[in-house]
Chain A
Amino acid sequence: MFEIITKFGPTLLEAMGKTLTMAFYSLIFASIIGLFFGVLAVVKSKICNIISQVFVDIIRGVPMIVLAYFVFFGIPYACKNMLGFNLTLSALEAGIICLSLNCGAYMAEIIRGGIQAVPKGQMEAARSLGLPYLTSMRQIILPQAIRTMIPSIINQFIITLKDTSILSIIGFPELVNSAKGVVALTFKSFQVWAIVGIMYLIIITILSKLAKVLERRLSYDRKR
């Protein structure tokens, strides 16, 4: 066990770093996507609502692994053979696209729910002061919605962090892929996978604790 840690520790840590990088970018893009489609789901426009719903349904209805193959192999193929130009996506880029879309769809649902949970009177009060719709959304509704959404958002972030492992199938050298390599060299699958498991566990535990702190910080009865 210790031998593996001393010998392959740096490799695994580097891979963990790649996992975190992929998760980090994905979460940022997913938040933007989620916010966009989440707001689209609540605005007073049937067309916008439907667009949002279709996006969410498609992403939710397709397994991540299929989405990954589609983005990594399917899209460059289509560009080359049907549209006539070359598009090369690195495994990292394809991974980030997949995770962002996937996490973004779930975020959209969380954000829609959070917005709808804010009492109607808040939007009415903001609008009757003469604030435009989007300003009211940004200043009044979203800050309140975020508070109720934090636990679900963190939960979704954790799922996305774990989902990075699915991207090992397109060859990105994140933690699971690197661990496979280490197992191939050492044959010590019990020890290696135990170490990898613990690494995930540590990161995710830290994230969860952070979420708890954040949640408490954001509650109304504490002064900022």
Chain B
Amino acid sequence: MIAKDNIKISVQHLYKDFGKTNILSDISLDVREGEVVCIIGPSGGGKSTFLRCINKLEEVTKGQIFVDDYEITDKKVDINQARQNIGMVFQQFNLFPHKTVLENVMLAPVDRKLLTKEEAKTRAMELLKRVGIEEKANEYPHSLSGGQQQRVAIARALAMNPDVMLFDEPTSALDPEMVGEVLAVMKELAEQGMTMVIVTHEMGFARDVADRVLLFADGVIAEEGTPKEIFDNPQNKRTQDFLAAVL
């Protein structure tokens, strides 16, 4: 079975246990093409685990996940092929420290033979320009600020030309003055029609950019709605408590 035409990510009755501990239970979610979904919620609520299930960094316990034509939860899925279509950006950037910025961005498309070296270089420079750090192309990651590193990480993910992008608290490890530059890149990406699922603690960003906001708590989607509904008129007690604590 294949996800419906304009549905990019479809999660159906997802359960995830770590050992005997249940972390996620009965999560279902459809993300349409071009939609931006922000996930908020208290720490330990299962947000990262959920995101990691989508590109199979975690094996699910039960349920189905589709991304485009790939059933991620199918044992026989070509996971490397499927992952090329799913960009992921981590809280800790995870740039490759032994490669230059340019090499970080070029590596996967060349290795997977999507592009020749020359093409990949041109494309990488374009992407670096788009995230505003083309002048750092030949530097090593450790000489960049956190904000710059995270922008490189976004460029690296985009280099594979993914249809969807997953962000796991992309600004949580940044000094406050660098949060804005990363959010700006993400906002631009959203405006260009990228399908995005973003775990974030930046409520202003979620309100501004998200089409839909989900509140994860204790492994379930406690509430979901438009930013207006969630932030201005939360119905669920857990949403109210969470927002009271962070706003």
Contact = CB atoms under 8 A, between A and B. Distances in A.
Contacts of B153: 125
B205 interface: no
Interface string B149-164: 0000100110010000
Contacts of A143: 98
Interface residues of A, number: 21
Given A129-B160, A139-B107, A124 B94 contact: yes
Given A128-B55, A129-B156, A220-B140, A122 B80 contact: no
Contact of B108 (A119, A131, A221): A131
Nearest to A135: B111
A221 B142 contact: yes
A124 B57 CA distance: 7
B96 interface: yes
Interface residues of B, number: 27
B96 A130 contact: no
Interface of B: 55, 57, 80-84, 86-88, 90, 92, 94-98, 107-108, 111-112, 140, 142, 153, 156-157, 160
Contacts, number: 64
Question: Interface of chain A, helix or strand or loop or mixed?
Answer: helix
Nearest to B52: A124
A84 interface: no
Interface string A92-135: 00000000000000000000000000010110111111111001
B121 to A, nearest CB: 17
A140 interface: yes
B97 A129 contact: no
